[in-house]
Chain A
Amino acid sequence: MSTAPTPTKEQLSDYCHNLLRPGNTNCAGCGMSMGLQWLDEALGEDRPTLVIPACCGIVTAGAFPTSAYGVPTVAATFASAPAVATGVSVVYRLNNEDRPTVCWTGDGGTYDIGVATLSAAAERNEDMIYVCYDNEIYGNTGGQRSSATPEGVVTSTTEKGKAERKKDMMAIMAGHRIPYAATLSLAHREDFLRKVRRARSLRGFKFFLILSPCPTGWKSEAEDSVDLIRLAVRSGLFPVYEVFGGVRYRVNVQPDGTPVEEYMKRQRRYTKGKTDAAVLRRFIEDQWHYLNGMVRAFPAGPND
């Protein structure tokens, strides 16, 4: 193991202005660490206000009086991030302050307990960027199932592998006809940055879904995190696409037929329960049947 070089004084004070500062509590290889840094890079000088519900993302901050977040950050109750962010965003608008309000939430807060709040904020088309870092598990409470957990996955509340399929949150959000919804891949930096900048240029509700590796919950190696996302994209398990106005679809990265087993075999959440790869293959097939159908019927236009 090599030791990291000691940062200079200038670098240290720079770090304080980072959206995500060093010394945060994320596990090694956590997808949030990359996601937050890229969010920071994409927004640049355009500093966001973060609203974070109960999830690993608020633990990231560390303990009072320090915080790993270098931007104003509000901890919301588990189901409330989009409601609290609405309050913030409305007051910014009333005061002519053009600042991005960003919800940073887990899949539990998005797919489960917060789904009504999220749906309502989207329906009202509140001006905010909503990001779900989806680790397909309740990380904070020690790895229980969520409705984002894929079929077959072993969690602390699905010992024999989850019986139900993963919920299609992108379809639900597209159904709200919001200005912009997209998935973000942690293996495709340029695509990630472009989409966040795009979202920032639009008024109204913008939704992002990140498949976020969680070595602790996925029982994978920290250094595999980006590879795993690449494999999820290539195999077609995690489609990289964007939806404009809820009705115009574009796929940004085509899968290349990499077998999903490559992805599964590096995570004990799949190997432990001997999850049948056919289950995931069927899921991939259905997912692309739907997605390709949407792209054919409702393609994004040249101005999207």
Chain B
Amino acid sequence: MARALVTGNHAAGYALSVAGEANRQARGCAAGAYPITPQTEIIEYLRSFAFTKGYIVPVESEHSAMGVCIGASLAGARAMTASSANGLAYMNENVFAAGYYRLPIIMIAVNRTLGPPWNIWVDQGDSLSLRDAAWMQFYTESHQDLVDTILVAFRVAEDHRVLLPALVALDGFVVSHTQMVVDLPEQQLVDRYLPPCHVPHQVSYEHPVTVGGLTWPRETEHHRIEVQRAMEQVPQVLSEATEEFVKVFGRRPHTALSCEYTEDAEVVLIACNTMVRTLRNVVKERRAKGEKIGLIKEKLFRPFPRAELRAALKNVKKVGVLDRNHSPGSGGIFWQEVTTSLQGHSDVLVQDYLVGLGGGDVTPAIINDIIDDLYRRKQAAEPVWKEVVA
């Protein structure tokens, strides 16, 4: 294991590259790449990597970046790319195409506010807007979490029980542009961890088929059901991929849902990405004062781990959800998922807090404020805006 002081973007670029390189004995790797702040260093890294059997196409747009990934994956190669915010929005149509084509493409989403107004700072609304695109979605809290998740994501995505693309998200600037010491697994280990990629429906001259042609409602519904079934396989396949990861790399990566101090907790806060790290510190401090408080790190967002979440919140009285995203006319997107998960199973109070939108700092003071607010609440209200008091 090589330890190095690198930025989040460097770490992501490295993990994508060694994963691509690991497929050199099979059909190689390919990608379409297009720059956007704050992910640009990732595609620069990919372009500069000396692949044995791989090529990164410098395309003219994100739409085409995903188009190239789709073609490469259908031709049997391992495919990957990265984008952010308006790039993800511009790519949208082909993101859905990749999902519904069941292609195990991995995409890094460096979370950034979707403009207008123009804003390059972190907000998870960009990748969450792709939640219905038939992609798995992982949200990572640190450089190490990011590297590990990318490698695990390839393994899960290419597993024939799943065969779905995966998006791995990280916070723009907070992770993408800061340096941390990270274990960057060596190529031989990654070679061992990732089996050769085999896309069963790749273009074939022996059995020429038309991929993506017209289907009637019945067949389409079948297809949708199959996608749902594939999503349902993810928790199992993910836990196998995690165990395999421990064997090969000697380290345990975070799983779908990390529950911390939840066993006896009466109040639990739920968050994703780097907010989790601040939250963890605050919770530790308040635990030290004897408060029965815990936290849940939501890493896997699609498929949403409803059963695990329900189990984790079984004895909890109040839940606060920190959403660094906003679905206008509704509220926070994580909150929607949490409330849906708990429907009919619990009379727990769930309150949504919209925090750090457009990249505002989510400080310990803000989180302490939220916890105090939650303690006082007798019943849940509409989502609360934390920074701007309406």
Residues of A within 8 A of B (CB): 47, 49, 51, 58-59, 61-65, 67, 69-77, 79-80, 82-95, 99, 116-117, 119-120, 124
Contacts and interface: CB of A to CB of B under 8 A. Distances in A.
Nearest to A97: B75
A42 B49 CA distance: 40
Contacts of B54: 94
A94 B70 contact: no
A241 B27 CA distance: 39
B32 to A, nearest CB: 7
Q: Label chain B's interface by main secondary structure.
A: mixed
A85 B74 CA distance: 10
Contact of A64 (B67, B77, B215): B215
B214 A59 contact: yes
Interface string B111-147: 0000000000000000000000000000000000000
A65 B211 CA distance: 10
Contacts of A75: 210-213
Contact of A88 (B53, B59, B74): B74
Given A61-B213, A77-B97, A91-B30, A117 B67 contact: yes
A95 B71 contact: no
B61 interface: yes
A88 B75 contact: yes
Interface in B174-223: 203-205, 208-216, 219
A63 B53 contact: no
Nearest to B220: A64
Q: Label chain A's interface by main secondary structure.
A: mixed
Contact of A77 (B55, B74, B94, B204): B94
A84 B70 contact: yes
A47 B33 CA distance: 29
Given A73-B209, A91-B30, A119-B60, A83 B67 contact: yes
A61 B30 contact: no
Nearest to A83: B67
Nearest to A116: B60
A3 B53 CA distance: 54
| B: contact size bracket | 35 or more
A95 B27 contact: yes
Contacts of B57: 86-87, 90, 124
A117 B65 CA distance: 10
Contact of B70 (A47, A62, A76, A93): A76
28 contacts: A61-B213, A62-B214, A64-B210, A72-B203, A72-B208, A74-B211, A79-B63, A80-B93, A83-B63, A84-B74, A85-B71, A86-B57, A86-B59, A86-B71, A87-B68, A87-B69, A87-B71, A87-B72, A87-B73, A90-B68, A91-B30, A91-B76, A94-B53, A117-B63, A117-B67, A120-B60, A120-B61, A124-B58
A110 to B, nearest CB: 15
B59 A64 contact: no
Contacts of B59: 83, 86, 120
Contacts of B79: 87
A88 B28 contact: no
* Cβ-closest 8 pairs across A and B: A87-B71, A83-B67, A75-B212, A120-B60, A91-B75, A87-B72, A83-B64, A67-B210
Nearest to B78: A91
A76 B63 CA distance: 12
Contacts of A99: 205
A76 B213 contact: no
A166 B61 CA distance: 26
Contacts of A74: 71, 74, 203, 210-212
B343 to A, nearest CB: 36
A62, A84, A93 pick with most chain B CB within 10 angstroms: A84
B77 A91 contact: yes
Contacts of B76: 91
B30 A77 contact: no
B74 A94 contact: no
A211 to B, nearest CB: 26
Contacts of A119: 60
